[in-house]
Each structure stands twice: as C-alpha cells, then as structure tokens.
Structure 1
Amino acid sequence: MTTEVRIRPATGDDAEAVSALRRAVYSYKVMSPEAAHHMITVFSPAERFLALVAEVDGQLVGWGSAGLNNWTSEEGQSNISIYVHPEHRKQGIGSALADRLHQHLTEVGATKVRTFAQPDGLEFARNRGYDGSRQMHFAGVDTGALPPQPPTPEDIVLVTMDTLDPRPVFIADSATSLDEPSDVPMDAADYDEWLDEIWTAPGLDKSLSVAAMVGDEVVCFTAVEVDGDRSWSGSTGTIPAYRGRGLAKLVKSVALRRCAAAGVTAAYTSNDDENGPMLAINNWLGYRRVQTELGLLRTL
C-alpha cells in the first residue's frame, strides 16, 4: 500500500514538530520550538519566503523553505533548505519539496540558489543541478571541559547583551559580516529587519551572549542561541581595528562558562573552511568536529 504524502505551507503551529525534526536530522544544529515559530512567522516581505512541510499519516516528516537573500547587494541571490526524517527518505518527499521550491524561486526572480547538504545528500543535490562551492564544518564542545579563561585587557569591559541597546550590536555585526567567508557579500543589512529577525528572535539568549566594549562601542561579540541543554554560536565577530588581540577567544570563553552555569552541557558552532582564525579559536576552546556540510550552488 502506498503511503500518501501531504505537502502544505508551514504555519506557526508546526514549530514544535519542526524543531524535533531538525534535531533528528541535525543533532548539531540548535533551534528551539520558539525559534522555529519565529523562523516560520517573522521575515521580510522582500525575501518572498516560502516554507513547506511534508506529512505522512499526520506526522511531520519533511521541511522545505526558500527565499531571496536580501542581506546582499547582489540581485537574484537566494537560499533553499530541504530535509527529511531519516525513516522517510527515498520516498520522493525531498523531490516533491524541491520541485515546489525551485518553481517558487523562479517565479520571484531568483537567478542563483545556495544550499548546504550533508555528505549523504550530495547525490540528491547534484541530480538537481547543484555543484560544490565551499565546506562548512560543524563542531561541538563539552561546556564542562573548557581551557582556562584568557585575561581581560585593561581597556576592555565585558558585558552581556541583555544590558545593551541593539544599535551598537547591529553596527558591529554589520562590520564583521562584510569579510565573513561567503559566495556573496553580506553588505545590505537593514536595521529594522535585523531587529525583527535577529535581535528579537526568541532563540537568541542575550543573557548568555557576550560583548567586549570600549566605551560605548561594541568591538567584539558572540551571540548565543539555546534549546534546553544545547547551545549554538549564532555568530562571533571582532571589528577590524581590534583584531589580533584574542578578543573572540575571550568572549567565547566567557559565554561558554555562562552557558555551563545555565545548564547547557553541549555547545555547537559552525565555521567556513576558509575561516582559519575562527577555526583555530574553536580548536583551542576544545570544539571537536561532528560533521562537514557541503555548500552548493545552482544557477536557475
């Protein structure tokens, strides 16, 4: 008997099931039900974001989303994400999601599509016209086994992000994103969209996220997202004038200790293969690689 698969638009009510599915597929990626709800319901109209779910017998077994990348000045750039529960693969669910999403991207004017795939999903992606562009390494660390915390320089004050106004954080985030390894420049961040999608996102725990300050300026920061006993390093960056002083190592050390005190036992992060300085910092902190995903590109 053939099992019927239902594909429909995702709604906020799917958040808990989407979070559980994501954890089943990506044990090293962290997204709480609250963060999943935010992802499904809060986005800029300019993204033309479409989120779909696949159900079998009422159980959510697949996710697919696609939209334009409006954080770059290069027009026509877009992203797609598809994942299916391991027990429901090879049944055409991923293909059905891919067909719907690629059609949507074509209709909204996308010309290039980027995605990431685990090694066992590479054949699926290549069969749909994707080719390799870069590698993303995922790593985890036991928060109870950290190296000694580096000393804080005399001109630096460490604070948690829940004590800060968002504007200085946005300025630092925008500055550090400009030279982050990527196929497209992240040079078109909008403050109001950043507030909606990043700063007010429920996954961001500002009490665990740490910034290094010089006066009123954020010169280095690390953003922490939490789901139960797991945390995720959303982003870490140092503005160019303060690089080479070990500040990223310092703020991550402080944040990981705060995570441990809050009951987080496993912390995860990701790094582009070309980001040597951050890979070195995470190796020093004790992160150990758990997966490498392949960054892939398709021209529509």
Structure 2
Amino acid sequence: MRIRRATPDDAEAVSRLRREIYSYSVVSPAAARHLITVHAPGERFLALVAEDGDQLVGWGSAGLNVWTSAAGQSGLSISVRPSHRRQGIASALAEQLHEHLRAIGASRVRSFATPDGLLFGTELGYVPSRELHYSGVDPRVLPEQPVTPEGIRIVTLDRLEPRQVYLADTTASLDEPGDSPLDAVSYDDWLAEVWESPGSDRSLSIAAMAGDVVASFAAIERDGDRAWSGMTGTVPQYRGQGLAKLVKSVALRRCAEAGITGAFTSNDDANRPMLAINDWLGYRRIETQTSLLLNL
C-alpha cells in the first residue's frame, strides 16, 4: 500500500470509490476531476489517494475554509474502501493531512464521520458537534406540485446570469446551520467551484424569480440516472411563501423527465424547515453522519 498525491487521472477511480462507500454519493468522473483540480489558491488544498497494487482504495483531502470569516477553519475528509479498513490506511492519511493543515496555519478542523467511522474520529481527538442526515427519493413518485404564487415565475438556471444565482446563494446561505458561517464566499471562487462544476446540471436546476431577482432556487448535480440537490435556498425577504418547496418539487419533476430514478440530498439536523419539505416530498433517510471538530 502506498499514499501519494491525487492527480486528475484518478478521477474515475475516485468516483467509483465514493459511490461504493456512500450509496447516496453523486460524483461523476468529471465532477471528481473538478474536485481534484479546481480550488481557490487560499484553500491550500491537498488531495491524497491510497493504492493497494493498482487499485485505488482510499481518499483523503484537506484545506483551509476560505468561505468563512472565521480565521483558521479547515476541513478534512477520509474515505477507505470497506475491504481495506483496519489496516492503518485511514491513520496514515490522517497523519499526513493533519501535518499539512498545521503547516498552512489551520487552527480547527472539521470532518464528518459515518457511524462506522465515528470511533476512529474520536480516537484521533475529534469531538462530535452536529448531525447531518442523508436521504433519497424516487423523483418519479412525488406529491402534487404546489401552486406558483402570484408575481413569481419559474425558470431553469441555464437561463440566468451566474451573478444572479450567486447573490441568492450567498444570501440564503448566511443562516445555514453549520460549524462555521458561510459569510465570505467570493464570486470568483463560487463561479469556479460551483457554477462551472461539470457535475452541475443547470437545465434541471430551478429558480423562482421575483422580477429579475432570484427569490428561491434548487441546484441539481447529475451523474447518469442519479441526482444530488446541492443547495435549496430562499432569500430571507421571500420566505414564508412556500418557494423552496415549489422549486425543489419542480426540479425533481425535471429530473424524472430526464431519466433520473434516484435523487439524494443532505440536511443539518437543525434545518427543520428543509427537513419538513423533504419529508413532504417523500425523501427517506439513508444515513446520518456526525460533524467532528478538532483543535490543532
């Protein structure tokens, strides 16, 4: 077994690994290549892979969180194929990634653990913080679509300018539950990492427009017959009209028309309004991950 830096050529194997470990993962090879190669310079991102012979059996990544005003925040992710666990791979990845984070000035690390990985995380010194629920739905089986309120029109994101969506995304995200506020997202970083991601399907993503303003939107990523709801948000002054339920309902219907049979999403346990919408749409919980924090 050896650990080395990830390269763009690892994208297909990384995509397969994520789908094997996380049944709800929607990361196409093109999206995995984007994940490896496109990051803000300030993030100081490091991606590693673990190999057993010619098989990629593990993934690890870490970098500074440049989307928050809180100084020194960072993120770390480790995934190891089930058949290769308890062989020291995760520990070796964690050691190198923690060393990298200390070198670039991180003071606190956030990671997420499945139930199987929670003990490993706490043994490294991480402290449980929050819960994140993953769920899925068959978009071909949905409740009746909500009525569109007067003064609101529905469009796909491919008909909009990216800055319109950026303003709605960054405004709606300000009170998104989490361990660090999402209050420092630059337009250039958002454009490169979100809007231009090859996994994003703007023809399936939906916005509710109030004039020229994006009042609410549901962003969809696609990998074949699977879809991921990356973000559904409503700008504060337009909340209370059922717009998030509307745009997500419309987006899922478009997914079904495009041949998608499984749609997945995740929600912080504190995000009760979105959890209620997903319950109404028919989402069923698949797995709960725990947010873990470590002070370096």
TM-score, normalised to structure 1, is: 0.98
Matched, 1:100 2:96: yes
Amino acid at match of 2:255: C
One-letter amino acid of the counterpart of residue 213, structure 2: E
Task: Tell me if 1:192 matches 2:188.
Answer: yes
Residue 112 (structure 2) aligns with: 116
Look up the equivalent residue of 1:86 and give its one-letter code: P
Aligned twin of 1:288: 284
Alignment of 1:41-52 (within 5 A): 41-52=37-48
**Take 2:58 and 2:233, find their aligned partners in 1: how far apart are those partners?**
33
Give, as a single letter, the amino acid of the residue that structure 2 aligns with 1:83: S
Aligned to 1:23: 19
Q: Which of 227, 245, 249 does residue 249 from structure 1 map onto?
A: 245
By how many angstroms is 1:29 displaced? 1.7
Task: Tell whether 2:230 aligns with 1:234.
Answer: yes
| Alignment partner, residue 154 of structure 1 | 150
Deviations 1:180-232 (A, max 9, x none): 00111110010011100000000110000000001110000000001111100
Task: State how far apart, in whole Å, the 2-side matches of 1:236 and 1:198 are.
Answer: 14
Shift of 1:153: 1.0
1:6 equivalent in structure 2 = 2
Give, as a single letter, the amino acid of the residue that structure 1 aligns with 2:178: S
1:128 to 124, 128, 144: 124
1:263 to 256, 259, 269: 259
Query: Per-residue CA shift, 1:215-265, capped at 9, x if unaligned?
Result: 110000000001111100000000001111110000001000000011110
Separation in 2 of the partners of 1:195 and 1:109? 26
Which runs of 5 or more structure 2 residues have no equivalent in the other structure? none
User: 1:273 aligned to 2:269?
Assistant: yes
- 3-state DSSP class of the match of 2:280? helix
Q: CA deviation at 1:6?
A: 1.0
- The answer to whether residue 172 in structure 2 is matched with residue 173 in structure 1 is no
2:270 partner SS: coil
1:178 is paired with a residue whose SS is helix
Q: Secondary structure at the match of 1:182?
A: coil
**Pick from 198, 201, 221: which aligns with 2:197?**
201
Q: Note the residue ranges of structure 1 that are not aligned, 5 or more in a row.
A: none
Deviations 1:20-61 (A, max 9, x none): 000000011211100000000010110000000000011000
Aligned length: 296
Corresponding position of 2:221: 225
In the alignment, the residues of structure 2 paired with residue 159 and residue 270 of structure 1 have an alpha-carbon distance, to the nearest angstrom, of 24
The correspondence for 1:164, drawn from 136, 160, 164, is 160
One-letter identity of the residue aligned with 2:23: S
Out of 135, 140, 145, the position equivalent to 1:139 is 135
User: 4+ residue stretches of structure 1 with deviation over 4 A?
Assistant: none
Deviation at 1:112, TM superposition (A): 0.3
Q: Identity, % of aligned pairs?
A: 65
Following superposition, the deviation at residue 144 of structure 1 comes to 1.4
Deviation at 1:69, TM superposition (A): 0.0
Secondary structure, counterpart of 1:135 in structure 2: strand
Q: Secondary structure at the match of 2:83?
A: helix
Deviations along 1:113-165, one digit per CA (max 9) or x if unpaired, are: 00110011011101111011000000000111100101111210100000000
| Matched AA of 2:270 | E
Q: Distance in 2 between matches of 1:33 and 1:240?
A: 35
Which residue identity does 1:148 align to in structure 2?
Answer: E
| Offset of residue 71 of structure 1 | 0.2
Pairing 1:77–2:76 present: no
Cα distance between partner residues in 1 of 2:224 and 2:86:
32
